[in-house]
Amino acid sequence: MKVSYECASCMLRQSREAIEHATESDEIRMKATLKVLEFLDENFEKDVNSNRLGTDLHHLIMRETGNDDPYKNLREEGNEIALKLKPIAEDIIEDNPSFENYVKIAVAGNIIDFGALDENTDIEQLIREKIIEEPVINDINILENDLKNAENILYLADNGGEIVFDKLLIKKIKEDYDLNIILALKDGPILNDALLEDAKDLNIDEYATLMTTGSRSVGVVNDYISDKLHALLDEVDLIISKGMGNYEGLTEMHIKSPVYFLLTAKCNAIAKEIGVENGNKIVQKRIL
């Protein structure tokens, strides 16, 4: 996905938040902010890939502040929120253990995004509302049919906390279809994205093979991910892609495997690109 004019103000907001999380020093904050403004002045232009630009921006902030994990506390908070809300999801599943409910819960978990949302957002309340909300683009039945004919799938994780709900869906897919599931997580901290250790702490390796994307990028960035992940994108029977960052990156790539985008639209630019309203839930199959 290419940048929209709206991405500029979002990147400035996100940069301020990242800088404030990274350091308490006003002097370092000012120095980092000037570097951000210089970077955006030189690099923000029409037809630039949005999540590559965002990735480079966050790496710059890490270098300038000397903090390579500014969102560490927020990632841990996301995990705590998700574990607190997990019983609600489990109650819904107990009442109706349909595949559709597992998917809807996984998409609802995508709201745990401290990069896209204002930090004053009541994420717990948002998740409670989103869990029961219907996707406005709903290819869940198509996904379920495709899983019946698949042997190997790639699951691209997004945020910390969110993977608590991803685990429910991954476990459901493994038990119902006995597929080889590969779960790809970030190679190191970026925003509040889920890391390998987060998945291990949740014992997701009982149901999926864990790997990293080979990079610390916002979503997947074509030039940054590993050769192994590049190969899998073309070799698996289907891809389940969580979140906006992966959407931004994959839609800039040409890959052979069909992709199911599971996300909550949390910005106007992506909502417009998909053709939905901001805040809508999406389960959409795409051939890229």
For residue range 113-150, list pLDDT tens digits in order.
654 445 555 666 766 777 778 899 999 999 999 999 99
pLDDT at res. 122: 65
Among 240, 241, 172, CA closest to 207: 172
Right CATH for 72-286 from 3.40.50.10880, 3.30.360.10, 3.20.20.80, 3.40.50.620: 3.40.50.10880
Mean pLDDT of the chain: 92
> Domain 5-65 is of which CATH architecture?
Orthogonal Bundle (1.10)
Sequence-ordered list of residues with C-beta below 8 angstroms from that of 146, at least 6 positions apart, any chain: 237, 238, 258, 260, 285
Q: Where in the chain is the domain with CATH 1.10.8?
A: 5-65
pLDDT at res. 117: 46
Task: Please compute the mean of the pLDDT values over residues 155-180 and round it to a whole number.
Answer: 95
For residue range 222-258, list pLDDT tens digits in order.
999 999 999 999 999 999 999 999 999 999 999 999 9
Among 235, 234, 264, CA closest to 247: 264
Q: Which residue has 């957002």 as its token pair?
A: 121
For residue range 270-284, list pLDDT tens digits in order.
999 999 999 899 999
pLDDT at res. 182: 98
